Amino acid sequence: MGQLDNRVAIVTGGASGIGAACAETLAREGARVVATDIDDAGGRDLVARIRAAGGEALFLHQDVTDEARWPEIIAETEAKYGRLDIMVANAGIGVSARTIVDMTMADWRRQTAINIDGVFLSVKHCIPAMRRAGNGGSIVMISSVAGLRGSPTLAGYSATKGAVRLFAKSIAMECAGAGDGIRVNSVHPGIIDTPIWGKIPVNAQATGRNAPPDPHELARTGAPLGRAGTPYDIANGVLFLASDASSYMTGAELVIDGGITAGTVARRI
Protein backbone atom coordinates (compact mmCIF):
# COMPACT_ATOMS: atom_id res chain seq x y z
CA MET A 1 0.00 0.00 0.00
CA GLY A 2 1.32 3.43 -0.96
CA GLN A 3 0.40 6.60 0.85
CA LEU A 4 -1.17 7.98 -2.34
CA ASP A 5 -2.86 4.94 -3.87
CA ASN A 6 -5.78 5.94 -6.13
CA ARG A 7 -4.72 9.61 -6.11
CA VAL A 8 -3.91 11.63 -9.21
CA ALA A 9 -1.37 14.46 -9.12
CA ILE A 10 -0.22 17.23 -11.44
CA VAL A 11 3.34 18.53 -10.94
CA THR A 12 4.28 21.65 -12.92
CA GLY A 13 7.93 22.11 -13.83
CA GLY A 14 8.22 18.35 -13.43
CA ALA A 15 11.08 17.78 -15.87
CA SER A 16 13.90 18.89 -13.57
CA GLY A 17 15.11 19.37 -10.02
CA ILE A 18 12.51 19.60 -7.25
CA GLY A 19 9.56 18.98 -9.61
CA ALA A 20 11.10 15.76 -10.96
CA ALA A 21 11.86 14.55 -7.41
CA CYS A 22 8.26 15.33 -6.39
CA ALA A 23 6.86 13.45 -9.42
CA GLU A 24 9.06 10.40 -8.67
CA THR A 25 8.23 10.44 -4.96
CA LEU A 26 4.46 10.81 -5.42
CA ALA A 27 4.48 8.05 -8.06
CA ARG A 28 6.51 5.77 -5.76
CA GLU A 29 3.71 6.18 -3.19
CA GLY A 30 1.07 5.09 -5.68
CA ALA A 31 -0.12 8.35 -7.26
CA ARG A 32 -0.64 8.53 -10.99
CA VAL A 33 1.33 11.63 -11.96
CA VAL A 34 0.91 14.14 -14.77
CA ALA A 35 4.18 16.05 -15.05
CA THR A 36 4.13 19.21 -17.16
CA ASP A 37 7.00 21.38 -18.37
CA ILE A 38 8.37 23.32 -21.34
CA ASP A 39 11.32 20.84 -21.37
CA ASP A 40 10.02 17.90 -23.42
CA ALA A 41 13.23 15.83 -23.31
CA GLY A 42 13.46 16.12 -19.52
CA GLY A 43 9.77 15.26 -19.22
CA ARG A 44 10.14 12.14 -21.37
CA ASP A 45 13.17 11.01 -19.30
CA LEU A 46 11.21 11.52 -16.10
CA VAL A 47 8.29 9.39 -17.29
CA ALA A 48 10.70 6.64 -18.38
CA ARG A 49 12.33 6.66 -14.90
CA ILE A 50 8.96 6.51 -13.13
CA ARG A 51 7.70 3.67 -15.34
CA ALA A 52 10.98 1.74 -14.95
CA ALA A 53 10.47 1.97 -11.18
CA GLY A 54 6.96 0.51 -11.55
CA GLY A 55 5.03 3.79 -11.28
CA GLU A 56 2.52 5.48 -13.58
CA ALA A 57 3.09 8.88 -15.15
CA LEU A 58 2.32 10.99 -18.18
CA PHE A 59 4.21 14.02 -19.51
CA LEU A 60 2.37 16.94 -21.11
CA HIS A 61 4.05 19.96 -22.70
CA GLN A 62 2.94 23.12 -20.93
CA ASP A 63 4.02 26.70 -20.41
CA VAL A 64 2.33 27.48 -17.08
CA THR A 65 1.79 31.11 -18.14
CA ASP A 66 -0.35 30.11 -21.14
CA GLU A 67 -3.92 30.30 -19.84
CA ALA A 68 -5.46 28.61 -22.90
CA ARG A 69 -3.40 25.47 -22.26
CA TRP A 70 -4.69 24.97 -18.70
CA PRO A 71 -8.20 23.60 -19.49
CA GLU A 72 -6.51 21.13 -21.89
CA ILE A 73 -4.10 19.94 -19.15
CA ILE A 74 -6.98 19.37 -16.73
CA ALA A 75 -9.12 17.66 -19.40
CA GLU A 76 -6.24 15.35 -20.47
CA THR A 77 -5.57 14.47 -16.82
CA GLU A 78 -9.22 13.57 -16.21
CA ALA A 79 -9.47 11.67 -19.51
CA LYS A 80 -6.36 9.58 -18.76
CA TYR A 81 -6.65 9.06 -15.00
CA GLY A 82 -10.28 9.98 -14.22
CA ARG A 83 -9.75 12.59 -11.50
CA LEU A 84 -7.44 15.14 -9.88
CA ASP A 85 -6.47 15.14 -6.18
CA ILE A 86 -3.06 16.82 -5.87
CA MET A 87 -1.54 19.92 -7.47
CA VAL A 88 2.14 20.71 -6.95
CA ALA A 89 2.60 24.25 -8.32
CA ASN A 90 6.36 24.07 -8.67
CA ALA A 91 7.47 25.61 -11.99
CA GLY A 92 9.63 28.64 -11.34
CA ILE A 93 12.68 30.62 -12.42
CA GLY A 94 15.14 32.97 -10.73
CA VAL A 95 16.18 36.21 -12.39
CA SER A 96 18.96 38.09 -10.62
CA ALA A 97 20.11 41.70 -10.87
CA ARG A 98 22.97 43.41 -9.06
CA THR A 99 20.42 45.84 -7.59
CA ILE A 100 16.74 46.45 -8.32
CA VAL A 101 17.79 49.61 -10.21
CA ASP A 102 19.54 47.32 -12.72
CA MET A 103 16.51 45.09 -13.30
CA THR A 104 14.73 45.59 -16.61
CA MET A 105 10.96 45.66 -16.91
CA ALA A 106 11.16 42.68 -19.29
CA ASP A 107 13.03 40.64 -16.66
CA TRP A 108 10.56 41.66 -13.93
CA ARG A 109 7.63 40.59 -16.14
CA ARG A 110 9.27 37.23 -17.00
CA GLN A 111 9.99 36.61 -13.32
CA THR A 112 6.46 37.43 -12.16
CA ALA A 113 4.73 35.73 -15.11
CA ILE A 114 6.16 32.30 -14.37
CA ASN A 115 6.39 32.47 -10.57
CA ILE A 116 3.08 34.26 -9.82
CA ASP A 117 0.81 34.06 -12.89
CA GLY A 118 1.76 30.39 -13.33
CA VAL A 119 0.82 29.57 -9.74
CA PHE A 120 -2.43 31.55 -10.01
CA LEU A 121 -3.43 29.60 -13.14
CA SER A 122 -2.44 26.26 -11.56
CA VAL A 123 -4.73 26.93 -8.63
CA LYS A 124 -7.61 28.49 -10.58
CA HIS A 125 -7.83 25.51 -12.91
CA CYS A 126 -7.21 22.67 -10.46
CA ILE A 127 -9.85 23.54 -7.87
CA PRO A 128 -12.93 22.79 -10.03
CA ALA A 129 -11.39 19.42 -11.02
CA MET A 130 -10.66 18.53 -7.37
CA ARG A 131 -14.25 19.44 -6.50
CA ARG A 132 -15.51 17.20 -9.33
CA ALA A 133 -13.43 14.32 -7.92
CA GLY A 134 -15.23 14.95 -4.64
CA ASN A 135 -12.60 13.71 -2.19
CA GLY A 136 -11.01 16.93 -0.99
CA GLY A 137 -7.55 17.54 -2.36
CA SER A 138 -4.13 19.00 -1.61
CA ILE A 139 -2.56 22.01 -3.29
CA VAL A 140 1.13 22.51 -2.57
CA MET A 141 2.79 25.70 -3.75
CA ILE A 142 6.58 25.79 -3.91
CA SER A 143 7.68 29.11 -2.45
CA SER A 144 11.19 29.59 -0.99
CA VAL A 145 13.09 30.91 2.00
CA ALA A 146 13.23 33.96 -0.31
CA GLY A 147 9.49 34.27 0.41
CA LEU A 148 10.20 34.54 4.15
CA ARG A 149 13.09 37.00 4.20
CA GLY A 150 14.83 39.44 1.86
CA SER A 151 17.17 38.28 -0.90
CA PRO A 152 19.50 40.95 -2.30
CA THR A 153 20.22 40.46 -6.05
CA LEU A 154 17.07 38.31 -6.22
CA ALA A 155 14.56 40.98 -5.13
CA GLY A 156 12.13 40.22 -7.95
CA TYR A 157 12.31 36.49 -7.20
CA SER A 158 11.81 37.18 -3.51
CA ALA A 159 8.74 39.31 -4.28
CA THR A 160 7.16 36.44 -6.22
CA LYS A 161 7.84 33.90 -3.47
CA GLY A 162 6.41 36.22 -0.81
CA ALA A 163 3.31 36.59 -2.99
CA VAL A 164 2.95 32.81 -3.27
CA ARG A 165 3.17 32.46 0.53
CA LEU A 166 0.14 34.67 1.16
CA PHE A 167 -1.69 33.45 -1.95
CA ALA A 168 -1.56 29.96 -0.44
CA LYS A 169 -3.03 31.15 2.84
CA SER A 170 -5.81 33.07 1.06
CA ILE A 171 -6.81 30.07 -1.07
CA ALA A 172 -6.63 27.86 2.04
CA MET A 173 -9.24 30.13 3.63
CA GLU A 174 -11.42 30.15 0.49
CA CYS A 175 -11.42 26.35 0.34
CA ALA A 176 -12.00 25.96 4.08
CA GLY A 177 -14.90 28.40 3.78
CA ALA A 178 -16.33 26.39 0.89
CA GLY A 179 -16.04 23.19 2.95
CA ASP A 180 -14.65 21.34 -0.06
CA GLY A 181 -11.93 19.49 1.86
CA ILE A 182 -9.15 20.99 -0.27
CA ARG A 183 -6.05 21.84 1.81
CA VAL A 184 -3.57 24.44 0.61
CA ASN A 185 -0.02 24.84 1.93
CA SER A 186 3.28 26.37 0.89
CA VAL A 187 6.76 24.81 0.97
CA HIS A 188 9.86 26.93 1.55
CA PRO A 189 13.06 25.28 0.33
CA GLY A 190 16.45 26.70 1.26
CA ILE A 191 19.55 26.15 -0.90
CA ILE A 192 18.80 23.03 -2.95
CA ASP A 193 21.16 21.41 -5.45
CA THR A 194 19.16 21.62 -8.70
CA PRO A 195 19.88 22.95 -12.22
CA ILE A 196 18.13 26.26 -11.35
CA TRP A 197 21.40 27.78 -10.12
CA GLY A 198 23.15 27.26 -13.45
CA LYS A 199 20.22 28.92 -15.26
CA ILE A 200 20.53 32.20 -13.36
CA PRO A 201 21.85 34.47 -16.12
CA VAL A 202 25.52 35.40 -15.88
CA ASN A 203 25.66 39.03 -16.82
CA ALA A 204 28.65 40.38 -14.94
CA GLN A 205 27.61 43.99 -15.48
CA ALA A 206 24.10 43.48 -14.14
CA THR A 207 24.79 40.88 -11.46
CA GLY A 208 28.35 41.65 -10.40
CA ARG A 209 29.23 37.92 -10.84
CA ASN A 210 31.25 36.12 -13.49
CA ALA A 211 29.73 32.68 -12.87
CA PRO A 212 26.38 31.31 -11.72
CA PRO A 213 26.05 30.93 -7.94
CA ASP A 214 27.29 27.53 -6.65
CA PRO A 215 24.70 26.06 -4.23
CA HIS A 216 27.30 23.96 -2.42
CA GLU A 217 29.55 26.95 -1.79
CA LEU A 218 26.57 29.07 -0.68
CA ALA A 219 25.29 26.35 1.65
CA ARG A 220 28.66 25.64 3.27
CA THR A 221 28.59 29.06 4.91
CA GLY A 222 24.91 30.04 4.54
CA ALA A 223 23.04 26.97 5.81
CA PRO A 224 23.46 26.03 9.49
CA LEU A 225 23.48 22.31 8.53
CA GLY A 226 26.48 23.11 6.33
CA ARG A 227 25.29 21.50 3.11
CA ALA A 228 22.91 22.11 0.22
CA GLY A 229 19.64 20.18 0.30
CA THR A 230 18.72 17.57 -2.30
CA PRO A 231 15.53 17.73 -4.38
CA TYR A 232 14.32 14.69 -2.41
CA ASP A 233 14.60 16.65 0.87
CA ILE A 234 11.86 18.86 -0.59
CA ALA A 235 9.90 16.04 -2.25
CA ASN A 236 9.56 14.27 1.11
CA GLY A 237 7.90 17.37 2.54
CA VAL A 238 5.63 17.66 -0.48
CA LEU A 239 4.65 13.99 -0.05
CA PHE A 240 3.69 14.70 3.57
CA LEU A 241 1.51 17.66 2.53
CA ALA A 242 -0.05 15.69 -0.34
CA SER A 243 -0.92 12.73 1.88
CA ASP A 244 -3.47 12.17 4.63
CA ALA A 245 -0.62 12.36 7.18
CA SER A 246 -1.09 16.15 7.03
CA SER A 247 -4.90 16.10 7.04
CA TYR A 248 -5.12 18.79 9.77
CA MET A 249 -2.78 21.23 7.96
CA THR A 250 -3.98 24.03 5.75
CA GLY A 251 -2.63 27.54 5.21
CA ALA A 252 0.68 26.43 6.73
CA GLU A 253 4.30 26.95 5.72
CA LEU A 254 6.63 23.97 5.61
CA VAL A 255 10.20 25.29 5.82
CA ILE A 256 12.89 22.85 4.60
CA ASP A 257 16.04 24.93 4.66
CA GLY A 258 18.81 23.33 6.73
CA GLY A 259 18.16 25.93 9.42
CA ILE A 260 18.66 29.07 7.27
CA THR A 261 15.64 30.96 8.63
CA ALA A 262 16.17 29.81 12.23
CA GLY A 263 19.28 31.87 12.88
CA THR A 264 23.03 31.79 12.43
CA VAL A 265 25.55 29.29 13.71
CA ALA A 266 28.20 31.15 15.70
CA ARG A 267 30.91 28.53 15.16
CA ARG A 268 31.00 25.12 13.55
CA ILE A 269 32.49 22.68 16.08
The count of other CB atoms within 10 Å of the CB of residue 252 is: 17
Q: In angstroms, rounded to a whole number, what is the distance separating the alpha carbons of residues 207 and 202?
A: 7
Q: In angstroms, rounded to a whole number, what is the distance separating the alpha carbons of residues 201 and 184?
A: 32
Which of 9, 192, 241, 242 is close enough to bind ligand NAD by CB under 6 A?
192
Spot the catalytic one: 81, 157, 232, 248: 157
Window of 25-33, 85-93, 122-130, 178-186 that interacts with ligand NAD by CB under 6 A: 85-93
Known catalytic residue: 232?
no
Restricting to residues 42-61, name those near ligand NAD by CB under 6 A.
Answer: 42
Q: With binding defined as CB under 6 A, does residue 26 bind ligand NAD? A: no
Q: Please report, for residues 28, 46, 102, 109, the alpha-carbon distance to residue 55 in angstroms, rounded to integers and kept in the order given.
A: 6, 11, 46, 37
Q: In angstroms, rounded to a whole number, what is the distance separating the alpha carbons of residues 119 and 67?
A: 11
Restricting to residues 200-219, name those near ligand NAD by CB under 6 A.
Answer: none
Residue 227 burial (CB < 10 Å; 0-12/13-18/19+)?
Answer: middle
Q: With binding defined as CB under 6 A, does residue 233 bind ligand NAD? A: no
Mask for 131-150, x = binds ligand NAD (CB under 6 A): -----------x-x------
Which of 49, 58, 76, 93 is close enough to bind ligand NAD by CB under 6 A?
93
For 53-75, the DSSP string reads: TT-EEEEEE--TT-TTHHHHHHH
Q: With binding defined as CB under 6 A, does residue 254 bind ligand NAD? A: no
Q: With binding defined as CB under 6 A, does residue 151 bind ligand NAD? A: no
* Sites of contact with ligand NAD (CB under 6 A): 12-13, 15-19, 37-39, 42, 62-65, 90-93, 114, 118, 142, 144, 189, 191-192, 194-196, 199
